[in-house]
Structure 1
Amino acid sequence: MLHSDHRSRRQFVQSLLQGAMAGTLAPSLASLLAAESAATSRQIPPVPGVLSVELRKRGKEASAPPVMEMAEWNASETAIIICDMWADHPCKLAAHRVGRMAPRMNEVISKARDRGVAIIHAPSGGIQLYEDTPYRKRIKEAKPAKPPVKIQGWCYLNPEKEAPLPVDDTVKRTDGPIRGCDDPFPTYQPNHDRHEHPALKIIGYDVISANGQEIYNFLEQEQRKNIVLMGVHTNMCVLGRPFGIRQLRYLNKNVVLCRDLTDALYDPRDKPYVSHTRGTEMIIEHIERYWCPSILGKDLTQVIPGSDNPTS
């Protein structure tokens, strides 16, 4: 009965929209019906609930202290993108840190999902491993949307918008493309496991993609304007992927970095010769200075009391 009622409602809206296109309805009613039609195309139920997030920002001067600012986001307008949290990595210390982070990340996304936040898993290079799952089907069926700017295959450092990265991640100590690895003796493994880390559960209305256009389509369809990036690596894929921070800023999305659920690929044998932890912090500060604010994962796990009550 519920499916029949939903279908009838959609058919009624479509008939009214056709009337609006034919000029038989007032423009104000036509716009309302268009909004209703867009709402019915959403796959994830848009539930009430307001997240209170504390944004950390920085001025472009290196000596400028961080500035904290509170913001309120509707959970139903928020999405999390999990970048490259693979089951394994050619850099073994990097894989170890992912394994240490993954259970904490899963707790955050699990609670955020329960609040109505959309979850996008993006294990680049491993998407084909999920091709026959409903999580791929769901995002491939998202309504096509035209982005305001071209979605790039990779967004490189942009000297017009940012200074050079504060750490040197260009040094290679092994054959193959891996760089920034802090293993004592790095060994390149081209066929490492690119499944999502098993501690991260893919379930419910989650989707899987590393395609910038697919992800943009899904964000637009689900009306998700607040985007949280978490995962690895902060100085590389989190910034540069076609769904990463630079690209989302070019698309005018309200993007933030989850600073306690990320990690850099940096080797303390390279400039500026600081610990791995401090190197990651320096990349986070660079992002806060030039690209977007950062938040903590806990801000995504609860809503303002009472904001998730029925509105009528």
Structure 2
Amino acid sequence: MLRASLLVVAVFCQVSAVSAQEATSGSETGALSEQRILHVKPRYYRWHVDVGEEWLEKNTGYACLEWDIPMSQAALVLVDVWDRHYLKEPEDRAERIIQETIRPLLKTCRTAGLQIIHAPSPSQAQKCAAWVGREKQKELPAGAPIPKTASVSAKPWPPAQFRGKSGPYAKYARPAEPMASDRLRILKGLCLHPDVQPEGADVVVATGQELHEFCRDRGILFLFYLGFNTNMCILQRDYGTMAMHTRGYEIIVVRDCTTGMESFETQDGLWQTRGAILFLEMNRKYSILSKELLAGLPKQD
């Protein structure tokens, strides 16, 4: 009799556990279905060959994933979208991209509720009303610089003179450019592009730490990048693709919303731009076209 009772209790507990699991699963599915989802197919470059193929570079190629991202976990990061460039060709390319691709993309993304984050350099960010670091800055003495993350080493290394190529290390510096002052003249008064200003719920960040803190507080994990220049600031800023990937974020560059600074050897095919995007795709980051991002936004009611 006791054995039969224990068996009944065991069966009841098992059924109850299954029912609870199904209820939990159902509630999670329901919660997911209630979320607004961004559906994208990020592209990357495979350092692998297909089964049966020889291990040759020519047998490697692109592949795409399929991601359903909660809109609350994604943001569009605009890097250094300024009003000018000191080189004519990058300025012309950037202006065309801004007018034909970035502006329509921003309008639709804002309407869909995708978080927009402007990252225009520290000096530019501090001028914006939407700068997320304004409250912290108010707590500092007037004119104090933006606080930087503390160094893990008490003694800077390499030495400051070596980094600045001064003192005994001046002999390793590049020669002064005769047109440097003219470049500064062209860039004097540099500001955010007049057609790509912060609006509505947009925010502005000055540093990678500010971008990280904002994303952490909002639960953002996926960063879609656009802006200029692909092979410079998009890659190397502390709020750029490389640094933020190191922090653990998924990085997707919108490849038709960016251009790089080319050389006389690469300008004909925009090989610096294409190479920078490929570098990201080959190193655990992704790319997407603006039309693909637009198509993946949740439909408006």
Q: What TM-score do you get using the length of structure 1 for normalisation?
A: 0.63
1:133-152 matched pairs, under 5 angstroms: 133=129, 135-136=130-131, 138=132, 140=134
Which of the pair is proportionally richer in helix? 2
Aligned to 2:180: 176
Q: Distance in 2 between matches of 1:207 and 1:275?
A: 36
Q: Aligned pairs, how many?
A: 222
84-93 or 297-306: which moved more? 297-306
Deviations 1:249-269 (A, max 9, x none): 1101011111111101111x2
Structure 2 residue runs without a partner (length 5+)? 1-33, 49-56, 137-148, 153-173
Q: Distance in 1 between matches of 2:256 and 2:250?
A: 19
**2:243 aligned counterpart, secondary structure:** helix
Equivalent of residue 82 in structure 1, options 72, 75, 78: 78
**Identity fraction in percent:** 23
Closer, same or farther: CA 299–141 of 1 in aligned 2, 3 Å: farther
Q: Distance in 2 between matches of 1:293 and 1:241?
A: 18
Deviations 1:40-72 (A, max 9, x none): xxxxxxx93211111111124753211122211
Deviations 1:121-161 (A, max 9, x none): 1112422332xx1x11x45459xxxx9x98xxxxxxxxxxx
Whether the 8 Å contact between 2:126 and 2:206 is mirrored in structure 1 is no
Aligned to 1:275: 268
Deviations 1:188-213 (A, max 9, x none): 23543432111214211111122111
Q: What letter is aligned with 1:115?
A: A
Whether the 8 Å contact between 2:74 and 2:221 is mirrored in structure 1 is yes
Closer, same or farther: CA 199–73 of 1 in aligned 2, 3 Å: same
Equivalent of residue 122 in structure 1, options 105, 119, 122: 119
Q: What TM-score do you get using the length of structure 2 for normalisation?
A: 0.65
1:51 counterpart = 2:38: yes
The structural deviation recorded for 1:173 is: 7.6
1:108 counterpart = 2:105: yes
The structural deviation recorded for 1:241 is: 0.4
Deviations 1:199-242 (A, max 9, x none): 21421111112211111111111111110111111111101101
Q: What letter is aligned with 1:284?
A: I
Higher Cα radius of gyration: 2
Whether the 8 Å contact between 1:82 and 1:120 is mirrored in structure 2 is yes
Whether the 8 Å contact between 2:230 and 2:261 is mirrored in structure 1 is yes
Q: Distance in 2 between matches of 1:173 and 1:295?
A: 38
Equivalent of residue 184 in structure 2, options 186, 189, 200: 189
Structure 1 residue runs without a partner (length 5+)? 1-46, 151-169, 178-186
Whether the 8 Å contact between 2:45 and 2:63 is mirrored in structure 1 is yes
Whether the 8 Å contact between 2:231 and 2:272 is mirrored in structure 1 is no
Closer, same or farther: CA 175–301 of 1 in aligned 2, 3 Å: same
Aligned to 2:27: none
Whether the 8 Å contact between 1:105 and 1:261 is mirrored in structure 2 is yes
Aligned to 2:23: none
**1:189 aligned counterpart, secondary structure:** helix
The structural deviation recorded for 1:95 is: 1.5
The structural deviation recorded for 1:244 is: 0.6
Q: Distance in 1 between matches of 2:297 and 2:284?
A: 27
Q: What letter is aligned with 1:228?
A: F
Whether the 8 Å contact between 2:112 and 2:298 is mirrored in structure 1 is no
Q: Distance in 2 between matches of 1:244 and 1:206?
A: 18
Q: What letter is aligned with 1:286?
A: F
Q: What letter is aligned with 1:129?
A: K
Q: What letter is aligned with 1:54?
A: K
Q: Distance in 2 between matches of 1:173 and 1:59?
A: 41
Closer, same or farther: CA 79–248 of 1 in aligned 2, 3 Å: same
* Runs of 4 or more consecutive aligned structure 1 residues displaced over 4 Å after TM superposition: 138-142, 302-306
